[in-house]
Amino acid sequence: MKQVKCPNCGASFEVIETASFTTCPYCGYTFNLQTLQEWVHYFFPVYFNQNSAWLKLKSFILRRYGVPHDFYESSNITNITLHYIPLHVFHTEAEATCQSGKGTATYHKVLDLAIPAYNGFWFDSLLRSHKFSVRGRIFFKPSVLERGKYYPPSISSESAKILSQSIVNSLVLREANESCKGYSRISKVDVNYVGLVHYPIWEFYYNYKNESYKGLIDGTNGRVMFVEYPLSREAKTFLLVSSVAIVAASSLGGMMIGSILVSNAILGIILGFIGSLVSSAPLLLTALSLKERGSEEISKKDSLLSTEEVASLIEKFAGFKTNIPVTFDI
Amino acid sequence: MQETVVKCRRCGAPIEYTPDSIFVVCSYCGYTNWFVDESKVQIFVVPSKPRDKILEAFWNRMKKDSDMSKVVQELEVVDTYGIYVPIFISKVEVFSTWSGVEVRTVSSGKQTRVERIQREGKFSDKMLISIPARRTAEEFGLDELISKVSSLPPNYIKLEESNWDDIKLQVLNAEISQSEAVDEIKDKAEDLTRQKIKISNNLSEFNFYSCSTTVTEVNLLLVPLWIVTYKYKNGVYNTAISGYDLVFLKTTEPVFFRQRILNLVGSLVAVLVGVGVISLWLRNIGSFGNSNSSLFFVVVGLVCFIIAYSLSSTAISDVRVERWH
């Protein structure tokens, strides 16, 4: 252990020898131990506490189709964890220039990116497309650590920066290639580190009739990110009966249509059968699944760039991340 | 443990400041505390209606809605909150040169063929573009509020000339400076223009597209967004209302059993129509030979099946979403 002095409040405290960054336990100031420079560190406050998050999860499930009538009373929490998940935030701008017979054109892409700085959750893929609550984001406070499970970043800001650069480059190049048949290249790229953000996410495990289900809630805006829930026997029966009825009615109707229009009843039956299988697929799949799943949509998909798209790019480029380890000591 | 508290320079109330706040508007007195002097801009506010007017509008809508009015007695409002969202709005002029390929199906009699036509042109346009002054943010109804602000700009007044006590709400800090906003607005304008050209000229691909963008009059507006959360049979639903003109931006409503059945019936009808169309196509295959006009029948038939699929998915979905557009 070694003694350090906080450049912000002047308090002295101990950190482990290998640490390169630390957060002052007295004032929450996070800084680089070598340069003593500030590491911009935010967190999002928890507006949804354990009870309100659990209520939100239940009321979300209750508005879904086919939830058992006794769900509200008969479901019990078995495990609940508040995770503070680190994300590196970047402001990126890139420009691509294309040269073609028609002339030269430039294209721009401006993007704010949040790169998850810790891997190993079963919900890693959900984090990649996560958007922040419009409310919140305040200076990191050490008191946060007492309330939830805190994860120091295991992916350094440098490798996240390389990742962000690859993402914005590939997006602007794609835009150039879609707009111009010629030779395109990146002519400018600018990646600014906004800072490290710790984001609160509730992970729930609950029981209903001896079966375990899980759910994830955004701790700041209460959005249901993911949930599993049971379907009642009546709902399953209704879905099965309806899909069988649809298939039967379509085959019968198809037979009539086939014989009237083209005087070929067999053809009509076959077409009706295929069409109704397609159309009743959502009912059948729901009826036959063991656990139903859902998530809450808040914003509509951006028509120009969806968050899923960014998520898939993170996944793609993360393959060559350099993963420079950063030791954090909190 | 000591935490630094930043105070409003006028009234001394604590304000929530983060390192990349450009300014913080004090929620108590409405004073603008600037933290980045070089990005000072005029801030305008679109005054919000008070909370009781928002709730009145909510109940009026529920009473008028043909489905919701039947259960209006069973609804209960559990939460109502309003915020001023900082939005950059700007006039943008674009001038673009383009060339591309239009793909057209031409039919003469029973013959149909696909033509590829080289086209080029110039395009200029004036538009309003707005973006939120927050990073990677989401909120129920925010997208709709932003597109509403750019298509129907609201009336606004200078923040310091407003009567803050009458219109006060929590104000979200702006995190994006004006110069960053200009870059983002340009990016958005270029993308929108390309889409416009593509759609209006029916282009399948571009050979060349170049766009020069001039951004003028960047204004920062504080626009009120209200979220009403209500309960029906233990399920919760949301409504986003624009606070200045009480327009419903986005509403989630329960799906009633009758609607589920209607959707299933619709799905069945769509399947039968599809069957009819495809069987006609199969009969005509002989007489049409390899002509392309039969393609039309196949597409219509498949579209019917897709409609049937989406109707039956809607039948078991949890909410109906209604959006302002």
Taking an 8 Å cut-off on Cβ atoms, the answer to whether A279 and B190 are in contact is: no
ipTM of this predicted structure: 0.72
Cβ-Cβ contacts under 8 Å for A196 (sequence gap 6 or more): A30, A39, A40, A41, A42, A86, A87, A88, A89, A117, A153, A157
Contact residues on chain B for A257, CB-CB shorter than 8 A: 272, 275-276, 279
* Predicted pLDDT of residue B291: 52
Residue with tokens 């919701």: B68
Interface list for B 48-87 with A (CB within 8 A)? 83, 85
Contact residues on chain B for A198, CB-CB shorter than 8 A: none
Residue B282 pLDDT grade (very low, low, confident, very high; cuts 50, 70, 90): confident
Cα separation, A110 vs A172, whole angstroms = 9
Nearest to A194 by CA among A118, A115, A312: A115
Taking an 8 Å cut-off on Cβ atoms, the answer to whether B140 and A298 are in contact is: yes
The helix/strand count (H/E) of chain B reads as 6, 14
* Predicted pLDDT of residue B239: 92
Residue B46 pLDDT grade (very low, low, confident, very high; cuts 50, 70, 90): very high
Taking an 8 Å cut-off on Cβ atoms, the answer to whether B2 and A9 are in contact is: yes
pLDDT of residue A11 exceeding 90, the answer is: no
Contact status of B209 with chain A (Cβ, < 8 Å): yes
pLDDT of residue B192 exceeding 70, the answer is: yes
Mean pLDDT of A112-123: 86
Q: Which of A27, A65, A279 sits opposite B309 (nearest CB)?
A: A279
* Predicted pLDDT of residue A43: 77
Helix (H, G, I), strand (E, B) or coil at B173: coil
Contact residues on chain B for A221, CB-CB shorter than 8 A: 138-139
B312 to chain A nearest CA, in Å? 6
- What is the average pLDDT score of chain A? 80
pLDDT of residue B233 exceeding 60, the answer is: yes
pLDDT of residue A322 exceeding 60, the answer is: no
> Is residue B184 within 8 Å of residue B174, measured between CB atoms?
no
Mean pLDDT of A182-210: 89
B311 to chain A nearest CA, in Å? 8
A203 to chain B nearest CA, in Å? 20
Contact residues on chain A for B313, CB-CB shorter than 8 A: 282
Residue spans per domain, chain A? 1-39, 41-230+304-320, 234-288
* Predicted pLDDT of residue A18: 62
pTM above 0.90, yes or no: no
Contact residues on chain B for A278, CB-CB shorter than 8 A: 271, 305, 308-309
Taking an 8 Å cut-off on Cβ atoms, the answer to whether B183 and A110 are in contact is: yes
pLDDT of residue A185 exceeding 80, the answer is: yes
Contact residues on chain A for B190, CB-CB shorter than 8 A: 107-108
* Predicted pLDDT of residue B38: 64
pLDDT of residue A300 exceeding 60, the answer is: no
A19 to chain B nearest CA, in Å? 23
